[in-house]
Amino acid sequence: MIESFVQGVTEVSRYIIPLLLVGIPFYGLIIKKVKVYETFVVGAKDGFTIAIRIIPYLVAILVAIGMFRASGALDLLLNFLSPVLTFIGFPPENLPLALMRPLSGSGSLGLLTDLINQHGPDSLIAKIGATMFGSTETTFYVLAVYFGSVGIRKTRHALAAGLFADAVGVFSAVYICRFFFG
């Protein structure tokens, strides 16, 4: 039953973007008589300025993440933490992914691919990893892009809240998967 539901949802999602791309102009032109072409161009112009505006923020965040990642600090942290993790039922194999996830989308996808290849998609570790990946976000990237686009430099509690949510997502992934599959 779950399978067919998942399939249905995935099937529907294939049509959403094309439907939005014609649906919204349809509503505008046919129902509300909006000059859709001219309006589109006016809106689209902002795409360029916003993309350019986020560059300094992205450079700042991505360079720091890159340096941290390349230094091997993550592995040190992993060695240090793995006894504690095993104790609380958190598979140490999943830790690199959990730590990488808020920092880098491509980096964490690489780690997930590696986990699945090494342990097989049926393993608990792969299932926990995939759940983690789906239930957290690249917090630093989102923060840099979203705040950067409007020039916000003082981000207040956004990072703390985002990282807390990531931590809850990571631990939920572990314990929910253990409950369902463990």
Partner 1 sequence: MLNYIWFGMMFIGVVVGIFTGNIDAVTAAAIDMAKVAVNLAIGLIGIMALWLGIMKIAEESGLIRLIAKGLRPITVRLFPDVPEDHPAIGSIVLNMSANILGLGNAATPLGLKAMEELQEINPTKDTATNAMCTFLAINTSSVQLILPATVVALMGATASQIFITTIFATGMSTVAAIFAVKFLEKRRQFTFEPGGNS
Q: Which is nearer to partner 1, 20 or 84 (CB)?
A: 20
Binding flag, residue 99, partner 1 (CB under 8 A): no
Q: Which stretch binds partner 1 (CB under 8 A): 6-14, 82-90, 92-100?
A: 6-14
Q: Which is nearer to partner 1, 85 or 165 (CB)?
A: 165
N- to C-terminal Cα separation, the chain:
21
Binding flag, residue 124, partner 1 (CB under 8 A): no
- Contact between residue 178 and residue 89 where contact means Cβ atoms under 8 Å apart: yes
Q: Which is nearer to partner 1, 73 or 84 (CB)?
A: 73
- What DSSP string runs through 32-100? T---HHHHHHHHHHHHHHHHHHTHHHHHHHHHHHHHHHHTTHHHHHHHHHHHHHHHTT--GGGHHHHHH
Binding flag, residue 113, partner 1 (CB under 8 A): yes
Give the one residue of 2, 79, 83, 88 binding partner 1; rule: CB under 8 A. 2
**Alpha carbon distance 39, 25 (integer Å):** 10
Q: Which is nearer to partner 1, 9 or 88 (CB)?
A: 9
